[in-house]
Amino acid sequence: MTGFNLELPLHGEARTTVSEHNTAVRFGSGSVNVFGTPAMVALMEEAAINAVDSKLPCDHGTVGTELNIRHQAATPVGMNVTARAELKKIVGRKLIFRVEAFDETEKIGEGCHQRFIIELERFRHKVGRKSK
């Protein structure tokens, strides 16, 4: 348990359908019209966000800081993909997740993802200073 009242285990999920908007060709990460690795990464992050962000105070959120994943199988246009995240460990404001992604027939990816709890206004102010 942390000062943010997060308790293990927490689970999140995110879903999408493979379309021309999330293929490897669209992202420039490959030359085949299948679910792109960048799209899978984003879906895994969304699942992790869905696991914890609603449990944080409204002036806090999370940002991704590390991701180590394997994209194990291709998914064609038209298939549904589901990403799942399980919060495995809390170290202060660092959150460590196990992430997996599945299409309608098999596991297509898995790995570990870290997020960091931030105070939103302070974070925005810090980032804003960079653009001046």
Task: Provide the domain limits for residue 119.
Answer: 10-130
Question: Is 37 one of the catalytic residues?
Answer: yes
Q: Which residues contact 34 (CB under 8 A, 6 or more apart)?
A: 18, 23, 24, 74, 75, 76, 77
- Looking at residue 15, what is its pLDDT? 98
Q: Which of 11, 37, 82, 119 is catalytic?
A: 37
Question: Is 45 one of the catalytic residues?
Answer: yes
Q: How do residues 49-67 score in pLDDT, each as one tens digit?
A: 999 999 999 999 999 999 9
Question: Which sign, positive or negative, has the C-alpha torsion 16, 90, 110, 68?
Answer: positive
Q: Which of 23, 60, 62, 71 is catalytic?
A: 71
List 64's β-bridge partners, or say none. Answer: 115
What domain count does the chain have? 1
Q: List Cα–Cα distances, 16 to 37, 51, 78, 126, in angstroms.
A: 13, 17, 10, 33
In a domain, 17, yes or no: yes
In a domain, 122, yes or no: yes
Q: Which of 45, 60, 75, 113 is catalytic?
A: 45
Q: How do residues 84-94 score in pLDDT, each as one tens digit?
A: 999 999 999 99
Q: Domain containing 60 — which CATH number?
A: 3.10.129.10
In a domain, 2, yes or no: no
Return d(Cα 7, Cα 80) in angstroms, integer: 30
